[in-house]
Structure 1
Amino acid sequence: MDVKRAQDIYKSKETIAVHLDGEPVWIEHVDADNGMATVQVGSRPTNTHTIAVDRLEEQAR
């Protein structure tokens, strides 16, 4: 995924399925300058990771 798409998903009012290494995640922040995103893995708010945006995969609708 590219940074622009990650930002679009983050700002969207729709729920858009995104995965990291096959696990569902929620995008919590996008750092466009560094190409990084902070994501919540699963349903636990404390389980967050900061990763390169290109590791994220948007799931087909």
Structure 2
Amino acid sequence: MHTQRAKEIAQSPDMKNVTYNGEQIYIQHVNDENDTARIFPINDSQNEKEVLVANLKEE
């Protein structure tokens, strides 16, 4: 995924189908400077992590 698209999804009020390693996730924040995103699994909001935007997939 491209950083700009990840930012659009993060700012959208609608839930999008985005996955990381096959697991559906929520994008909390996107960092332009290093092309990373703060994410967490839909079913586990306490399990936040920072990942490369390039590793996110929009289904």
**Aligning the two structures, in what range does the TM-score lie when normalised by the shorter sequence?**
over 0.9
5+ residue gaps, structure 2 = none
Q: CA deviation at 1:13?
A: 1.4
Structure 2 residue matching 1:16: 3-state secondary structure:
coil
Q: Identify the residue that residue 14 of structure 1 maps to in structure 2.
A: 14
**Deviation of residue 42 (structure 1)?**
3.2
Alignment of 1:1-61 (within 5 A): 1-59=1-59
User: Which 4+ stretches in 1 moved above 3 angstroms?
Assistant: none
Aligned length: 59
- Structure 1 residue 21, shift from structure 2 partner: 0.8
For residues 31-53 of structure 1, the C-alpha deviation after alignment (integer angstroms, 9 at most, x for no partner) is 01110001012322211110000
Instruction: Give the AA of the match of 1:22.
Output: G
Extract unaligned runs of 5+ from structure 1: none
TM-score (norm 2): 0.93
1:1-57 C-alpha deviation (Å, 9 max, x unpaired): 010000000011111110001100000110011100010123222111100000000
Query: Cα RMSD (Å) of the superposition?
Result: 0.8
